[in-house]
Amino acid sequence: MKRITFLLPILLSALTVLQARAQRTVVKSLSNNAIRIQWRQVDSALKIEEVSLKQNDRWTKTIPPSGEYTLLYSETRPSTESAETFEKITGGKFPEDAYHYQQTQWKESTTGVALNTAGQAFHFYPQTGEAKNQGLEFKSETDVATVTSHWKIDPRFPTDILVTMTLNAKKKGFFSLATPTLAALPVEQMSWVSVPGYFQGNFMQKNFALAYAYGHGIPNRPVVYRERCASTLSPLMSSKDGFTLSVVPEPGLARDPWAKDQITQVDWHLGLSHMNRKAQLSPTLYYPVLGEEKSEMEAGQSVSYSFRYSLIAGDWFQATKHAAIDIYKFRETLALRQSKQALTDRIEKMHHYLTDPKTSLWNIEEYKGKQIGAQSYLGGVVGSDKDAMKNSDYGAMWMLANATKDPELTQKVLPPAENFKLVQQQTDEGFFKGAVEGQYYLAKKKKFVEEWGEVVEPIALTYYVMLDIGNMLLFEPDNAELKERLRIGAEKLLSWQRKDGSFAVAYDRKTEQEIFKDIQDVRPTFYGLIVAHRMLKDEKYLKAAEKGAEWFLKNAVETGAFLGVCGDARYAPDFATGQSAQALLDLFDLTQNKKYQDAAVTCAKIYTSSIYTHPIADHKLKTVNGTAREDWEISQTGLSFEHGGIFGSATRHGPIQLASHAGMFIRIYQLTGEQLFADMARAAAIGRDAFVDSKTSVASYYWNAMNRGAGPYPHHAWWQIGWITDYLLSEAALRSNGKVNFPRGFVTPKVGPHQTYGFAPGDVFGDKANLIIKEGFAVADSPSIDPIISKSTTQNTYYVTLLNNSPQPTAFNLKIDNSKISETNAPATMKWAETNQKAAITNIKLPAFGSRTLAISYKP
């Protein structure tokens, strides 16, 4: 009896184990030769027990599996008011009341729906599952709805799982159905997490404002982002083991920013998050969005949507490429683009716009005994009474003047613009000696001011002293006054650099104390020291630049944390991220230290997350301000942000036409062979005529302005000339395999990485030649053809480099007007520089994105 009593617990334990094993038998599985997902039944719930990929003929378990579903329900429409307030990491309200451009966006981003606290959350697992339609169908019952999901492997992409979810309402109310948690990644196992366009990073950030507004670290809350600033619809997470899981909605699920005949940019159809409702790291979609379109339902109504899980043994960049190229057809939409006006023609037309004081809003004012010149700026500037003046791209100004030799520029624009620059820099002794007084001059108050308050920024010193004066010095290397001003600026920048290589974001003009201590200066402020070294030949500046770059690599590139340069947006991350990639490329050129080149490529990859890749563009007709447009003509795909994120301008205005990154992306493509960079550069640059004012050839800045021209920003035309030149000459160097190559100067303030040209001869098929602009000299009868003209420094030879900026082969005729140049005789010879064979200029044929250079020699 004692023996039986002793054995009874052992027998009962064994029985329990057997029962548990019986309960945990594999009941459902999806698998092929690449991926395997297994469900087990546990207490009447079907849970995912394994998610594996096949590598080297062996199954490898990836990210810890889950299989839990989440449904959000509210009897009433959720509030549109802010649900919480937040403080800066240094204390105090965020954002401050002075940043009125951000107030609406911040309010929208802190509602209960956005913070993912609204509604009642139902968490559950499927109760039943069966094989159906070449996949598995699961069914779940909750108190408020029945949820059905169908899972199958995509036959085109073997590690993608296609899922269709259907919600059938049992009660009246508002519903939002989340994508199930396929897997949840422990924080200690993450290597990268991103909602592209909003943030990317490799560490959790405890301060919510810093993570949510700036992307300086991963938000530790399951916030729900709008699709309006999601560049690629692919929230993702990467593990330290090298696996990346992303969730990609079916094309057409997110809002179309111009759905039919009016702007629909702010519509919210789809929510994206890096976490599930329980704040576990797991890329998640929410459809419909609670309180938004299609979320209100009566009992008996249903809603369905589809998406895919994509699981790869690769990094985040591979995952976003897959979403953009394979699912959202980015490369196919590039193939739709056709220009109606050549980019070179736009430069020539903008030349006329900028030399007409009426159209360019050019002003001459007297200040400190000098005639200073700048263009009116009618945007927001603190203290402005519609009297603000500004110059933008000094490199483009000097390039255009040098290339055209137009006295309207050389005599009437450049001298007062140079005076503007000289008086803009503070030369009085004191804490701010060498810095800039401000970006803008207020003519009525006769003073320089910053964009948004009494602040002095080290990066403004880099921009408006070092870069502008540096670019001028490239054309005027013997200008002693400019050299001295550059030196004063360099010394100030050097004195402001901290021991670790970093800089303050800004100083208070009155107290001289550092401000904005809640954010780090993760911007290429160190670039000013690159300029100083290159122009003044002092090694101490190069060492300081490297010191700054080392800090930047650790605190920005490695972490994915960047800062913007627009004071009115409280420095929301912007095009300075793309500029950072070029800064690192330039530092590599000086040092030949490959880590800077590698970091530049990483930075450029991160900047691809500032480029829209959705929705899929097509030929569908839409009405834009009374004009019929095909969808691809006004598509956002290929365009970049001014600043994205939750309170950037893109939330309302959409992306911008100022594609400063295009040339840099071509350079990165030439370096890496990564096709996405070339595709993104070309998608931004060509076929954008719907945004170009036909009278001036100046493109609108913001996407929502369509073709209203420069509007309140006439100085933007200089930036447009600058980026177009950089793009064209980068393409010429790429397509000619370096046979057409012009030296690059410095990047421009402040819109991105495009660089200055024309200050020194280039190399054209072994001959030294100067970049020139001769309007009407070489004109193609196809707007896809851009002729770039240069003149030999030693021969009476002109070179016409012809670029086919079309995704299709192009046949065209070229007209040469000899009267447009000083030589009036007919050319002695016309040869193709590539082959040295006689050239005919009719029925010229160039392949898609091809090039050819014509050498036209004249008799002495």
**Residue 734 DSSP class:** H
Q: Measured between alpha carbons, how far is residue 809 from residues 23, 335, 724, 784 in Å?
A: 63, 11, 22, 10
Q: Are 414 and 752 in contact (CB under 8 A)?
A: no
**Residue 464 DSSP class:** I
Q: Are 766 and 796 in contact (CB under 8 A)?
A: no
Residues 6+ apart with CB under 8 A from 272: 195, 224, 225, 226, 227, 230, 233, 235, 284, 285, 286
At 826 the pLDDT is 78
At 26 the pLDDT is 66
At 98 the pLDDT is 87
Rg of the chain over Cα atoms, rounded to whole angstroms, equals 30
Residues of the chain with pLDDT under 70: 1-26, 823-824
Percentages helix, strand, coil for the chain (3-state, rounded to 5) are: 30, 30, 40
Tokens standing for residue 627 = 């004009």
Bridging pattern class, strands 236-239 and 190-195: antiparallel
Tokens standing for residue 308 = 């895919």
Tokens standing for residue 20 = 């548990």
Strand partners, 390: 375
Packed helices 394-404 and 414-424: angle between N→C axes, nearest 10 degrees: 160
Q: How far apart are CA 605 and CA 598, in angstroms?
A: 11
Average pLDDT taken over every residue of the chain: 95
At 381 the pLDDT is 87
At 15 the pLDDT is 34
Q: Measured between alpha carbons, how far is residue 592 from residues 289, 587, 588, 604, 663 in Å?
A: 50, 8, 5, 19, 21
* Helices marked H in 555-696: 576-591, 594-607, 650-653, 662-672, 675-685
Q: How many CB atoms lie within 10 A of CB 348?
A: 17
* Helices marked H in 387-503: 394-404, 407-410, 414-424, 458-461, 468-475, 480-496
At 824 the pLDDT is 66
At 823 the pLDDT is 67
Q: Are 449 and 383 in contact (CB under 8 A)?
A: yes
